[in-house]
């Protein structure tokens, strides 16, 4: 009996896996508009953190702990933007087949995702309002490409 079970287990490793999913976690709860909303929340945190860091830095000695906390939040939310664009839009929503059927749209989506990732990286490096505005503008462009709600 034990030999039969072991043989079946061994043979099961040879069987091809036929699992197919459209996303990394096939749960059906994700959609572009929800993800874009999450990106907006992350952006608002990056924006507020940048402003708070600038304001608190006027008296850095007094506010060093609070500055550190805002920096950590800014970093985490900018990183979240990068990871969401990479793991959701680039990995799941931009289809290689689109490159053949509508190359211009495909390249526009790729370029916009890349711009968002770079803009988020710049926000991690600085508190410059221009970097925050660039991130805002690129996220708006991403929303227009992928969003459906008005």
Give Cβ neighbours of residue 23 (< 8 Å, ≥ 6 apart).
Answer: 30, 88, 92
Q: How far apart are CA 118 and CA 82, in angstroms?
A: 8
- Answer whether residue 117 is part of any domain: yes
Number of helices (H), then strands (E), belonging to the chain: the values are: 6, 0
What is the reported pLDDT for 87?
A: 93
Q: Which of 116, 110, 75, 76 is nearest to 91 (CA)?
A: 110
- Answer whether residue 14 is part of any domain: no
Q: How far apart are CA 128 and CA 131, in angstroms?
A: 5
- Answer whether residue 99 is part of any domain: yes
pLDDT at 17 over 50: no
Range of the domain at 85: 36-146
How many domains is the chain partitioned into structurally? 1
Residues 93-120: pLDDT tens digits?
998 888 889 999 999 999 999 999 999 9
- Answer whether residue 121 is part of any domain: yes
- Answer whether residue 20 is part of any domain: no
Length of the chain as a residue count: 150
Both tokens of 41, joined, read 């929340």
- Answer whether residue 1 is part of any domain: no
- Whole-model pTM? 0.80
Residue 147: half-sphere exposure toward Cβ, Cα within 13 Å: 16
- C-alpha separations of 6 from 13, 15, 21 in Å: 11, 15, 30
- Answer whether residue 5 is part of any domain: no
Residues 113-149: pLDDT tens digits?
999 999 999 999 999 999 999 999 999 999 999 987 5
């Amino acid at each position: 009996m034990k030999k039969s079970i072991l043989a079946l287990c061994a043979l099961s490793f040879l069987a091809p896996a036929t699992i197919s999913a459209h996303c990394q976690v096939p749960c059906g709860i994700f959609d572009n508009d929800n993800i874009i909303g999450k990106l907006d929340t992350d952006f608002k945190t990056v924006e507020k953190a940048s402003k708070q860091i600038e304001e608190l830095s006027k008296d850095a000695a007094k506010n060093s702990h609070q500055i550190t906390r805002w920096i950590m939040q800014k970093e985490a939310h900018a990183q979240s933007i990068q990871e969401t664009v990479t793991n959701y839009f680039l990995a799941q929503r931009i289809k290689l087949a689109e490159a053949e059927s509508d190359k211009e749209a495909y390249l526009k989506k790729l370029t916009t995702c890349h711009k968002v990732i770079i803009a988020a990286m710049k926000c991690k490096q600085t508190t410059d309002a221009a970097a925050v505005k660039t991130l805002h503008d690129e996220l708006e462009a991403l929303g227009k490409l992928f969003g459906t709600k008005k």
